Amino acid sequence: MNPSEVTPFDEVKQFEKRQPEAIVALYSFDNRCRFASATHRTILGYSQAEMIGKHWSEVVSPEDHAHANLAGNDAVLLGQSIEFGLRVLTKAGERVPLRGAARILTDADSDEYYLLFIAEVAAL
Task: Provide the pLDDT for residue 2.
Answer: 54
**How far, in Å, CA of 16 to CA of 36, rounded?**
9
**How far, in Å, CA of 52 to CA of 110, rounded?**
20
Q: What value does the mean pLDDT of the chain take?
A: 89
- Domains in the chain and their CATH numbers? 3-121 (3.30.450.20)
Instruction: Taking residues 24-44, report their average pLDDT.
Output: 93
Task: Provide the pLDDT for residue 3.
Answer: 52
Task: Provide the pLDDT for residue 12.
Answer: 86
90 within 8 A of 96, measured Cβ to Cβ: yes
34 within 8 A of 114, measured Cβ to Cβ: yes
81 within 8 A of 105, measured Cβ to Cβ: no
Instruction: Taking residues 24-34, report their average pLDDT.
Output: 92
Encode pLDDT of 42-101 as tens digits: 999 999 999 999 999 999 999 999 999 888 888 888 888 889 999 999 999 999 999 999
**How far, in Å, CA of 96 to CA of 110, rounded?**
35
83 within 8 A of 60, measured Cβ to Cβ: no
